[in-house]
Amino acid sequence: MGEFSRIGVVGGGAWGTAVALASLRAGRDTVLWAREPAVVDAINHDHENRDYLPGVPLPHDLTATADAAAVAGTDAVMLVAPAQHLRAVCERLAPHWTPGAPAVICAKGIEIATQSLMSEAVAAALPPGTPIAILSGPTFAAEVARGLPTAVTLACDDLALGGQLVEALGSRTFRPYLSGDLVGAQVGGAVKNVLAIACGVVEGRKLGDNARAALITRGLAEITRLALALGGRAETLMGLSGLGDLTLTCSSMQSRNMSLGAALGAGRTLDEVLGERRSVAEGVYTARAVVALAGRLGVDMPICTAVDAILNHGAGLDDTITALLSRPFRKEKH
């Protein structure tokens, strides 16, 4: 089977299950680690993750486990745990990690406590020298799980290693495109969740498609400014992990973040919406982290700041929208 014949996937939610299925379709022997024993049992015995991905039959050769050593001892590990928990999960995996095995980060977010990118958090938690790659792009878990055509960015500093991972994970319907820009790939994936909440508010408030298109465009400018300040490349944000992911997440109510914003726009409270969900809307947490990081770097991100004000500081929707629409006219630039 060549390089990376055995793949571990960390995270038993919808996206983790979908990543495991993509790995299986690429011909890899795949083991999935889940925190909840009920999820492990359902995958192994009922061949369905009914809690997070109901209605999608799972092949019998997908093995689930609650044993950290079993997943950390593979040839490469896909890290799909929620962003705010990823550092702690990696600390748990570290004693069992196969030396030299790459960590492929599939979580999208920025740490609240440290404003660290996921690559920084993972590097601090895993054994020194562990190779790190980023898998990001326009991916609804249910579509990937069903084998519908999907293209993603796979970013890695070591392009030779990245190419091996592309070959190991790629298939006819799951198409990784190689990049060397870890920063750009991560910033695009993280910030688009915050912007999707804003697009949901536009939908819930019935502000129209013109407003949503403008928000996506100006939101892309915010993503690009932050990525450049962190050392990323602008062209990365024009690709799958930037514009591609932003367009998908801001255009469909399949998006957990957009649907959350739509509920807020329709007058529901954040606690009400979150109380009904088992899955994580990463943008709720990333909003606070990205605004703190942008402030530290002196990057202007008015849309993200508005979302953070609504989610975390009690700002009213109508007043926040009015403030955005009252900003001074300026020359269009990124």
Torsion of CA 120, 121, 127, 132, to 10 degrees: -50
Distance CA 53, CA 13 (A): 7
Class of residue 92 by CB neighbours under 10 A (exposed 0-12, middle 13-18, buried 19+): middle
Q: In the structure encoding, which two tokens stand for residue 274, read together?
A: 């979150």
CB 8 within 8 A of CB 72: yes
- Residues labelled catalytic: 192
Residue type, 123: A
CA distances (Å), origin 266, targets 201, 249, 316, 320? 8, 19, 13, 15
Among 121, 81, 72, 124, smallest CA distance to 101 is for 72
